[in-house]
Structure 1
Amino acid sequence: MKHIEVVAAIIVRGGKILCVKRGRGVYEYVSLKYEFPGGKVEEGEKEEDALRREIREELKLEIEINRHFMTVNHLYPDFEITLHSYLCTLREDSFEIALTEHIDYKWLEGKELFSVEWAPADVAICQSLMQQL
Structure 2
Amino acid sequence: MIDVVAGIIWKNDKILIARRSKNKHLPYKWEFPGGKIESGESAEKALERELKEELGIHTKTNDFFSNNIHQYEAITINLYAYNSIYLSGDITLIDHDQVEWVSTSKLLDYDFADADLPFVYKLVNL
1:59-82 Cα distance to aligned partner (Å, 9 max, x none): 111101110000110011110000
Secondary structure of the 2:90 match is coil
Verify: 1:105 aligned to 2:86, yes or no. Answer: no
Q: How does 1:69-88 map to 2 (within 5 A)?
A: 69-88=65-84
Whether the 8 Å CA contact 2:16–2:100 is kept in 1: the answer is yes
Structure 2 Cα separation of the partners of residues 66 and 26 of structure 1: 28
* Deviation for aligned residue 1:25: 3.6
For 1:53 and 1:31, locate their aligned partners in 2 and report how far apart those are by CA, in whole Å.
23
Tell whether 2:36 aligns with 1:36: no
Aligned equivalents of 2:82 and 2:6: distance in 1?
Answer: 6
- Cα distance in 2 between the residues matched to 1:43 and 1:96: 28
TM-score, normalized by length of structure 2?
Answer: 0.95
| 2:17 counterpart residue number | 19
Aligned residues: 126
Q: Can you give the 5+ residue segments of structure 1 that lack an aligned partner in the other structure?
A: none
Secondary structure class of the residue paired with 2:125:
helix
Distance 2:123 2:24 in 1: 29
2:46 to 44, 50, 58: 50
1:84-114 CA-partner distances (Å, limit 9, x unpaired): 00001112xx042111211000111101001
Indicate conservation of the 8 Å contact 2:56/2:89, yes or no. no
Distance 1:17 1:26 in 2: 22
